[in-house]
Structure 1
Amino acid sequence: MASRRPAAEVDAPVDYYLDDMEMHGRAERTQVAYERVLRRFESFLGDRSTTPGDAGHRDCLAWVHSLRGELSPSTVATYATTVNRFYDYMNRVGAFDANPMALVMEEMDESIEKDPERRDVDVATMGAFLSRIRQPLHHAVVLTLLKTGMRVGELCNLDCRDLRLSDPGLDGVELGGRPQLSGRGDAVYVDAAPTRGAVYNGERRTESNKRKRSTVIPVDDELREGLRRWLAIRPDTPSAADPLFVSTADEWGQRLSARSVRHYVRTYAEEMGWYETGAGAGENVTPHYFRHFFTTHLRDRTGDRGVVKYLRGDVASDVIDTYTHNWGDQVRETYLEHVYRFD
């Protein structure tokens, strides 16, 4: 992404970022929340005689530490995520050269994902939950979330070109057009690029992919069969982007929305007694819970935090390059050997 003006002219980076977020179509409530957090961060840095453009990771760490005790852990994580997005964006437009919040976020991710207060669901119980979902679209979506750990917005942004299945046996479905999937076997490509409000692959997107780096995730036999069942009945779509998951309800053939996914996951979770209005993330099973399930169970099975962080798209460029270059040995083989099965 190119900057709208030279980096030297961005003398008020918070204003620049907020201005761009407005033009990207962020909701007014979101813009207000961004400004509240970023102004607080900017003020904290001012007290330390520095600015967002000059701050280091120790400044960011000190700011996060200052929030603890005053705010809940989830709110602290939200504030840190907002600042991390700010830095990531300013890097992309060429205003900053580094993201000092990135290292802080990696350490926070470790502690957040090990949250002992989350509902503890074992593989067998989750398999029983999945077996109750008979609708092919719903089953394929939940299975994909459980097997890949991707976010709901990332799932909704998938196009058919992002999925490669060997011998899918399906007429009229063109899969795997991505060069990143060449030689990778059955796999799905999750791009970091799609942004809410921006045109991507010929279609204006309503969701953003939040991962730090684009990722190739293996597809095992169980997920392949679930996706085949869905693709065998997938409606035609008017979108030139050819979305992988489309609605089979009121918006027939249109790209599946994150709101729809959350709605039917909540319905199935309520049937299992896993969702109660007013309960927090520690009790309710939502699409994001499946990312937590993936992280916890695959990390425990592999003992390899690096591979799991690669699959989640959470690692820095130097680490992700290592796994990208050794994808077959360090990612695919590790994943296929250890990934849980539900059937």
Structure 2
Amino acid sequence: MEGEDRGIASRGVTQGRFETSSTISQASVVNALPTRLMRLAALPWFECWAGQLRTEKKSKHTIRAYTVAARDFSTTVLPGEEYQSWEEAQIIPVRVYHERSDPSTGRVDAWLNSLGELRPATINARIAAVSHLLKWLGYTIPEWVQRPARRRPLPRPLGRSEVLKVRSAALRMEDPLAHPIVTTMLETGLRISELCNLDIDDVDHEDLSALVIGGKGEKDRTVLFTKKTTEAIEAWNPIRAMRSKMLENEDSERALFLSSRGNRINPRSIQKLIDRLADEAEIPRTRLSPHTLRHTFATGLLERGADLVTIQRLLGHASIATTRVYLEISDQTLREIYHRAQRLPELEEFEIDSKVEDELESEYLMVPATAIQQD
């Protein structure tokens, strides 16, 4: 019993280092916790939150990015507080961390001020991560938090002659990955991360489609392709089979595209491949990137008459507004798409249809009733 008391006292001292100057008592903090977190109140908050991220099937990349944001937020010091390292901060009990993270304490503001030198895209990603953390704790991101405007210049899509150059160069290259990767990206519009995560079982060659699992926003979707992609992948499969035996691990057996060492390809290796492809096609490297291929796919759909909703679904955009910005669609182009798709029948057509119906009805009435019954 005495040892247990010492243990409790020891934990009390440890937790005391994490207490703020707030007058909220420990009991009231526990009561302020969301009901779903009550049973976790004494456990390390980061371990619990990371478990939640895995439950939501966040990708490894997303969890890494969220961890960086949570680390910076959790080690932000307010006036009168003692600095805590990340190793110390991540083991704070949920009930104490809940109090420390209350937006009304000013920690969110102090943390935001520390992000000033980062790019707008990075700041937005950090805010998204901390917003998830606060929501898990039962809070919401304060209304005064403004996300910086993000205006990333979009790549100019490849012209018809450039696409032919790229495809021809991919066939000439010694790297057997060049042809299947370029063909797949041009026909599906996959993001580079989605291409890397593609498994052999995700591709349905009979249906000419592929299932993208856990795309951006952790949303699954189906992309389509033609026989060109099927032929390119079928030509790649014998090489893939040999490479998958080099490591004989589960991931190598599943992955559709493997490196020369038998590992699943990664974004960096694809970028290097695209750079070599640009050299082979005699196109400036700045002109060709994985994102350029995706943008070329989307622009091609638009030019061939696809509607925005279809393009949105194939690209995996959460909002159609994103698709419009992505394609840099002007108001005039939007009007053209509308008038091309929204054509009401002319009155003359209606009159013709009515006459045809009248004639059919007259012919029907002239048929003897006995003949109708026999039919």
Aligned partner of 2:180 among 135, 140, 159: 140
Q: Does 1:216 align with 2:222?
A: yes
Instruction: Determine if the alignment matches structure 1 residue 294 to structure 2 residue 297.
Output: yes
- Say if 1:228 and 1:120 are closer, same or farther in 2 by CA, change over 3 A: same
Cα gap change, 1:220/1:76 in structure 2, threshold over 3 Å: closer, same or farther?
A: same
> 1:97-143: per-residue Cα shift (whole Å, max 9, x none)?
99999xx99xx89x75xx46x34421331221121112432211122
Say whether residues 1:188 and 2:218 are aligned partners.
no
**Letter paired with 1:234:** R
- Looking at structure 2, the residues matched to 213 and 27 of structure 1 have their Cα atoms a distance apart, in angstroms, of 13
Equivalent in the alignment of 1:77: 121
The whole-number CA distance in structure 1 between the counterparts of 2:236 and 2:141 is: 40
3-state secondary structure, aligned to 1:260: helix
Whether contact under 8 Å (1:139, 1:226) holds in the other structure is: yes
- Residues 82/10 of structure 1: CA separation in 2 closer, same or farther (3 Å cut): farther
Cα displacement (A) at 1:30: 5.5
Deviations 1:154-189 (A, max 9, x none): 1111111101112xxxxxxxxxxxxxxxxxx22100
Aligned 8 A contact 1:246 1:255 in 2: yes
- Offset of residue 261 of structure 1: 1.4
User: How far apart, in 2, do the equivalents of 1:100 and 1:217 lie?
Assistant: 37
Distance in 2, matches of 1:137 and 1:53, equals 50
Q: Does 1:309 align with 2:312?
A: yes
Which structure carries more relative contact order (alpha carbon 8 Å, separation 6+)? 1
Unmatched 5+ stretches in structure 2: 1-34, 79-100, 104-111, 321-375
Aligned-pair RMSD on alpha carbons? Answer: 5.0
Q: What per-residue deviation string (whole Å, max 9, x for no partner) do you get for residues 38-87 of structure 1?
A: 68xxx9xxxxxxxx999xxxxxxxxx9x9xxx889xx3233223433555
SS in structure 2 opposite 1:245? coil
Which amino acid counterpart does residue 219 of structure 1 have in structure 2?
A: F
Structure 2 counterpart of 1:121, one-letter code: L
Which secondary structure state, in structure 2, belongs to the residue aligned with residue 136 of structure 1?
coil
Q: Which amino acid aligns with 1:289?
A: T
TM-score where L is the length of structure 2 = 0.49
Larger proportion of helix: 2
Residues 264-343 of structure 1: pairs in structure 2 closer than 5 A: 264-271=273-280, 272-275=282-285, 283-315=286-318
TM-superposed deviation, 1:212: 4.2
Question: Counterpart of 1:139 in structure 2: which amino acid?
Answer: H
Question: 1:25 Cα shift?
Answer: 7.4
The separation in 1 between residues aligned to 2:142 and 2:186, in whole angstroms, is 31
Once the 2 structures are TM-superposed, how far is the Cα of residue 287 of structure 1 from its aligned partner? Answer: 1.8
Output the CA distance in 1 between the equivalents of 2:141 and 2:318: 13
8 Å CA contact retained: 1:17, 1:86: no
Change (3 A) 1:30 1:95: closer
CA distance in structure 1 between the aligned counterparts of 2:222 and 2:141, rounded to whole angstroms: 24
When residues 257 and 300 of structure 1 are mapped into structure 2, their CA distance, relative to the original with a 3 A threshold, is same
* Pair 226,26 (structure 1): closer, same or farther in 2 beyond 3 Å: closer
Indicate how the Cα distance of structure 1 residues 32 and 256 shifts in structure 2: closer, same or farther if over 3 A, else same.
closer
User: What TM-score do you get using the length of structure 1 for normalisation?
Assistant: 0.52
Instruction: Report what 2:83 is aligned to.
Output: none
> Structure 1 pair 38/155, CA: closer, same or farther in 2 (3 Å)?
farther
The residue type equivalent to 1:210 in the other structure is K
Structure 1 alignment gaps of length 5 or more? 44-51, 55-63, 167-184, 193-208, 276-282, 318-343
Matches within 5 A, 1:2-21: 6-7=36-37, 16=46, 20=50
Larger Rg: 2
The question of whether the paired residues in 2 share the 8 Å contact of 1:189 and 1:214 is answered with yes
